[in-house]
Structure 1
């Protein structure tokens, strides 16, 4: 079980001068995420990871990201796409901008471009369980069971606390095993 100190770190350690996928706190958070069996604790750790991923180190970029997320939640995907694309032009090394644009592209049904942006996300942050889960979902919708299984398995290896992914992974494994009989 993860110590109270790690939870304190997750909740109260202030943002450094930079954050994002190269933040040094992530290594310990990812270790804690895989080590814990406590669901509430896992959600706190996962939330801390997402908070770091969403913090670019630039107030302008952070504002644009939050506005893009707001547009996504309002179903204004065209505006979100423009903002995330602009962030990528400003800071092409910011993995979460690629991930958010991949999400918008997915919502727009442009799976090929979404997969491409997921690739950029994973180049910058190979531990991005959200991108891997999204990739699995795309492959699942495309009836590409083999690649869906691989993506879901990778996501679960990094974050074993993804209930929807866990359920779908078991379903696909069962379907695969029935075909092999």
Structure 2
């Protein structure tokens, strides 16, 4: 769900509202491109090699480059319309305009429900506004489409952590680190949870 470091929780109520001009664009985009999803993203065959390199490298700087390449592929749908909506949604999310971001990511999902990053980005916004159960649902769909999504797994771990579900958090963090061993904050929290669990067993 979140790339490493993007873990600040923002509790905020929101209302779904958009300007007429942008809504008009969405309607036109939907009519023109609704039935035209692309086949790249999490299906890109280059990802297999990148994940192999990511798990094998011991070089932190190289790992960050590989990570960046993976995120770039994940974020590229192959549809100009979807890519535009994604970028705009990410911009709104970074500005704290969560209602608008959710609207755009929901539109992306409607246009291309097989695009895992659309689900992941909506899960991220839902996480940021404290809608944890809805976020978990979107993370589930993300992982159905891309089981190697270490960002989604990291986010899932954070949610279970906040919900005081030690078992759920441990499982999600362990899976994230197994896929991408170069997530220092996730690994640190995982190690801490393991220590806390072991103390309880003594």
TM superposition score normalised by structure 2:
0.81
1:65-91 Cα distance to aligned partner (Å, 9 max, x none) = 000000000000000000000000000
Q: In the alignment, what sits opposite 2:107?
A: 86
Offset at residue 116 of structure 1 (A): 0.1
Offset at residue 18 of structure 1 (A): 4.8
Offset at residue 19 of structure 1 (A): 2.5
CA distance in 2, matches of 1:65, 1:92: 13
Q: Quick one: which of 85, 94, 98 aligns to 2:119?
A: 98
Q: In the alignment, what sits opposite 1:58?
A: 79
Q: In the alignment, what sits opposite 1:142?
A: 163
Whose relative contact order is higher, 1 or 2, with alpha carbons under 8 Å and at least 6 apart? 2
CA distance in 1, matches of 2:68, 2:201: 39
Q: In the alignment, what sits opposite 1:47?
A: 68
Corresponding residue pairs, total:
165
Q: Does 1:178 align with 2:196?
A: no
Q: Does 1:152 align with 2:165?
A: no
Aligned-residue Cα RMSD (Å) equals 0.8
CA distance in 1, matches of 2:200, 2:127: 29
Q: For structure 1, which runs of at least 5 residues remain unmatched after alignment?
A: 1-16
Q: In the alignment, what sits opposite 2:96?
A: 75
